[in-house]
Amino acid sequence: MHRRLLLRTPVLLAPVLLAPFLPARPARAQQQGDIAVTMPWTRAAGQNGTGAGFLAIANHGGAADRLIGASSPIARVTEIHTHLREGDILRMRPVAAVDLPPGGTVTLQPGGFHLMLIGLKEPLIQGQSVPLTLRFERAGEVQVMLAVQPAGARGPMAHGH
């Protein structure tokens, strides 16, 4: 019996020992009521700086909803932002909410609506995941994990590639 356990130990420990060398898994979709959140990701960033959160939000219900806030334990403050063009300059501005029409999808992405993670308490390290809580007017709170992509990423990488 001890011999069988010893023979299985390397097999059981392999996922734990190899985890730091495996690519990040793509983030899973999270659903709360009629709201589904997919493709949550962020970029690698240093401690004490800022990060940005990106994701897609689908409203599968027959009534409108609104994203009214977000928070993360790794940031001092999390705000909803958008980009506005002022002449030839593109500026970020905080917004109070993002409207989610019934049956529609809104994508928070670089150059548009996004979440700002301000005052990072720890670095965002490529290959790791960051917890984020989204607050909706009707659906309540949805917990997601932002997959940390390389610093210059323009979108989520499928299957960690």
pLDDT digits (tens, 9 = 90+) for 60-92: 999 999 999 999 999 999 999 998 888 888 889
Task: Tell the burial category of 143 from Cβ atoms under 10 Å away from its Cβ (0-12, 13-18, 19+).
Answer: exposed
Q: Considering only CA atoms, which of 79, 56, 47, 58 is closest in space to residue 139?
A: 58
Which domains occur in the chain, in start order? 24-155 (2.60.40.1890)
pTM, entire model: 0.79
pLDDT of residue 21: 34
The SS3 call for residue 29 is coil
Residue in the structure block whose two tokens are 């109070």: 96
